[in-house]
Amino acid sequence: MLGGILSVPSRFPSFNSASRIRQFASMTNHLTNITSLQNTYCVIRHGRSLANESKVISSHPDVATIQHGLSEEGIKQAKAVGNDVLKYYHTLKSCEGIAILTSDYLRALETARYVFQAVASDNNIPLFRSDDVGTDQRLRERWFGEWDGRSDKHYVDVWKDDVKDSSHTVRGVESIDSVMERATEFVLEWDNKLSNHLILLVAHGDVLQITQTAFAKLSGTEHRNLEHLETATLRPLILK
């Protein structure tokens, strides 16, 4: 740790060279040329967390995988959104089951498991995994670089740069391009694995805002122009 800031986690790219910045700037939205998907996709932002309560940015895996789980309010929210999933599933036609996929950060993982409990209570809904949810590091929150561990008021500082350049890595943050690349790669991977399923992506604010932007086939610089995704909210993704 240097100056109270954790070093860049290995799961995230290092942005210390111009070549790395150009590499991520050239990455594309993997959904750009896709006209249809085999599954129905919804995103769920994690319930209110202890990081939200403390008003801190928590994006480092060494911390976020073991700390900053759900607050009491967040637990209630997660249980409620689980019921929302049940209601939504029964409005779908020709759906053969649900796959629950989540970031491994504690606040998202706990939320996903409450959703899992709700879905498992309905014997008429097949689960892709009957034992637990699926986790993937590509659904982790965006790495916020030097802002990690600091006040969440600094999100605005990052977003001010986001509207200028989707490849920016100011103060070591992960670029929008990087987040979009990993998230859409993940979606396409699962769309090739399953068909006719409701696939739930349980994750975090920025990664899900950017994923929505990718489905809308908009520039990543516009991710804050989309409707803000509140904690423990279920939102269908529509591919444009």
The SS3 assignment for 185 reads: helix
Render pLDDT for 86-138 as a digit per residue (tens, 0 to 9): 999 999 988 999 999 999 999 999 999 999 999 999 999 999 999 999 999 99
Cα(110)–Cα(190) distance, integer angstroms: 22
Which pLDDT band holds residue 27 (cuts at 50, 70, 90)?
A: low
pLDDT computed for residue 94 by the predictor: 87
* DSSP assigned state of 169: -
Residue 92 sits at φ, ψ, to 5 deg, of -85, 145
pLDDT computed for residue 11 by the predictor: 53
- Closest C-alpha among 98, 90, 118 to residue 42: 98
Render pLDDT for 193-230 as a digit per residue (tens, 0 to 9): 999 999 999 999 999 999 999 999 999 999 999 999 99
Cα(134)–Cα(129) distance, integer angstroms: 8
Neighbours of 2 (CB within 10 A): 6
pLDDT computed for residue 126 by the predictor: 96
Render pLDDT for 228-239 as a digit per residue (tens, 0 to 9): 999 999 999 999
Answer positive or negative: Cα dihedral of 19, 21, 26, 31.
positive
pLDDT computed for residue 232 by the predictor: 98
pLDDT computed for residue 10 by the predictor: 54
Q: Which residue has the tokens 């994690």?
A: 46
pLDDT computed for residue 19 by the predictor: 43
